[in-house]
Amino acid sequence: MSFTKLETFIFDKLSQTKLPGLSAAILQDGEMVWARGFGFRDLARGQAATPNTLYAIASLTKSFTCVAILQLAEQGQLSVDDPIDRYVPVNIRPGGEPIRIKHLMSHSSGLPALAYAESLIDNLIGDGDHWLPVASYNDMFTFLQDAGEWAVTRPGERWFYLNEGFVLLGAIIEKCAGIPYIDYIQRHILAPLGMKRSFFQKEAVESDLDVATPYIIARDGERIASRYPYGALSSDGGLFSNAPDLLRYLAMFLGQGQYNGVKLLTPASVTAMMTPYVNVPQREGPFGQAGYGYGLRITPNFLGHTLVGHGGSVGVATSYIGFIPEKNIGMALVTNGSGYPTGQMVLYGLALVLGANPEELPFVQRERRLKELEGRYETYKGAMKLQVRCAGDFLMAEMKTKHTDATTILVPDTLEEKTRTFFILESGYKIGIEFTVQDGAVDLLYERYRLKKVGNLV
pLDDT for the residue numbered 95:
94
Sequence-distant (≥ 6) Cβ neighbours of residue 316 within 8 angstroms = 56, 125, 214, 215, 216, 226, 227, 228, 336, 337, 338
Q: What is the DSSP letter of 152?
A: -
Q: Is residue 367 part of a domain?
A: no
DSSP for 192-261, please give it: HHT-TT-B-SHHHHHT-SSBPPPEEE-TTS-EEE----TTT-STTT--EE-HHHHHHHHHHHHTTTEETT
Q: Are residues 421 and 289 in the same domain?
A: no
Inter-residue contact 280 to 343 (CB < 8 Å) = no
DSSP for 36-83, please give it: EEEEEEETTTTEEP-TT-BEE-GGGHHHHHHHHHHHHHHTTS--TTSB
Inter-residue contact 125 to 231 (CB < 8 Å) = no
As a whole number of angstroms, the distance between CA 268 and CA 235 comes to 23
The helix (H) or strand (E) run that includes residue 375 is: strand 375-378
**Secondary structure (3-state) at 426:** strand
Inter-residue contact 320 to 335 (CB < 8 Å) = no
What are the pLDDT tens digits along the chain (458 aa)?
899 999 999 999 999 999 999 999 999 999 999 999 999 999 999 999 999 999 999 999 999 999 999 999 999 999 999 999 999 999 999 999 999 999 999 999 999 999 888 888 877 777 666 777 888 999 999 999 999 999 999 999 999 999 999 999 999 999 999 999 999 999 999 999 999 999 999 999 999 999 999 999 998 899 999 999 888 889 999 999 999 999 999 999 999 999 999 999 999 999 999 999 999 998 767 899 999 999 999 999 999 999 999 999 999 999 999 999 999 999 999 999 999 999 999 999 999 999 999 999 999 999 999 999 999 999 999 999 999 999 989 999 999 887 889 999 999 999 999 999 999 999 989 999 999 999 989 999 999 999 999 999 98
Q: Is residue 365 part of a domain?
A: no
As a whole number of angstroms, the distance between CA 332 and CA 26 comes to 7
Q: Are residues 23 and 66 in the same domain?
A: yes
Q: Which residues pair with 39 in a beta bridge?
A: 21
Among 314, 339, 360, residue at a domain's last position: 360
Q: Are residues 106 and 137 in the same domain?
A: yes
Among 330, 360, 390, residue at a domain's last position: 360
Q: Are residues 330 and 417 in the same domain?
A: no
Give the CA distances from residue 348 to residues 59, 120, 452, in Å, rounded to whole numbers and listed in that order. 21, 33, 33
CATH number of residue 144's parent domain? 3.40.710.10
Sequence-distant (≥ 6) Cβ neighbours of residue 233 within 8 angstroms = 58, 61, 117, 120, 121, 163, 314
Inter-residue contact 445 to 363 (CB < 8 Å) = no
- Please state whether the predicted TM-score (pTM) of the whole model is above 0.75: yes
As a whole number of angstroms, the distance between CA 436 and CA 422 comes to 12
Q: Are residues 386 and 351 in the same domain?
A: no
Q: Which residues pair with 285 in a beta bridge?
A: 288
C-beta contacts of 401-405 below 8 A and 24+ residues apart? none
Nearest-CA neighbor of 181 among 110, 231, 222, 119?
231
Q: Are residues 184 and 269 in the same domain?
A: yes
pLDDT for the residue numbered 128:
65
The count of residues in the chain is 458
Nearest-CA neighbor of 162 among 45, 32, 292, 257?
292
Among 360, 381, 398, residue at a domain's last position: 360
As a whole number of angstroms, the distance between CA 67 and CA 78 comes to 13
**Secondary structure (3-state) at 147:** helix
Q: Are residues 319 and 426 in the same domain?
A: no
pLDDT for the residue numbered 239:
98
As a whole number of angstroms, the distance between CA 21 and CA 37 comes to 8
Which domain range does residue 92 map to? 4-360
Q: Are residues 165 and 209 in the same domain?
A: yes
Nearest-CA neighbor of 75 among 188, 165, 180, 186?
188
CATH number of residue 442's parent domain? 2.40.128.210
Q: Is residue 366 part of a domain?
A: no
**Secondary structure (3-state) at 123:** helix
Q: Are residues 37 and 139 in the same domain?
A: yes
Q: Is residue 368 part of a domain?
A: no
User: How many structural domains are present in the chain?
Assistant: 2
Q: Is residue 216 part of a domain?
A: yes
As a whole number of angstroms, the distance between CA 439 and CA 304 comes to 34
Q: Is residue 142 part of a domain?
A: yes
As a whole number of angstroms, the distance between CA 197 and CA 195 comes to 6
283, 287, 293, 296: CA torsion to nearest 10: -110
Inter-residue contact 293 to 276 (CB < 8 Å) = yes
Inter-residue contact 271 to 206 (CB < 8 Å) = no
Q: Is residue 283 part of a domain?
A: yes
Q: Are residues 288 and 411 in the same domain?
A: no
Q: Are residues 40 and 152 in the same domain?
A: yes
Nearest-CA neighbor of 164 among 69, 92, 268, 97?
92
Q: Are residues 402 and 265 in the same domain?
A: no
Q: Is residue 399 part of a domain?
A: yes
